[in-house]
Chains A and B, each alone.
Chain A
């Protein structure tokens, strides 16, 4: 089983739609979690951290479910500019090991 798994997609959604991605992780010792955005042929950029209590940044909401070992990213009112690949990242604090998922591709269509 992969340490971090994501549905590769693509998720094709119309503008204005709400879309959610999940990311599962296998190591229960994982301590911190992040979502990154990567545009085609560009570098990954940190989108948001995922806190135990969940967090929201504008149209984006990230949540953590430790019992089921997954994190989620919800995007409301999708914009064309949201089209990108979204990577989840899991960090084992003590070992400082950082593992990237392979990403979920989102395509927002007019």
Chain B
């Protein structure tokens, strides 16, 4: 079984809808991250969490919110989806001792029409 899982894997939604992307991990890592990837822009950090009570904004947090329900679960919400949030979203985890060694989920391809 995969160490980091994401649901759904693909989603098409309409402008204005609320959508939640979920991430679960079995690696036992405290740190979890949400990224989006757009062609030519690389990975951009949306939010990150160092533990259940420590959540931080990344470089592009506007329009997004997160919830860390447990050490193993980190959800990303789009409160009111807009077309420019169409992207590939990745969840990742890391051991705090080596933040640069990150383990990614398979990604969620989100399309907002």
Contact = CB atoms under 8 A, between A and B. Distances in A.
A34 B101 contact: yes
Contacts of B45: 98
Contacts of A34: 100-101
B90 interface: yes
B85 to A, nearest CB: 18
Q: DSSP majority for the A interface?
A: strand
A101 B104 CA distance: 16
B98 A44 contact: no
Nearest to A90: B100
A91 B106 contact: no
B104 A43 contact: yes
Interface of A: 8, 32-34, 41-46, 49, 87, 89-91, 96-98, 100-103
Interface of B: 40-43, 45, 88, 90, 94, 96, 98-107, 109
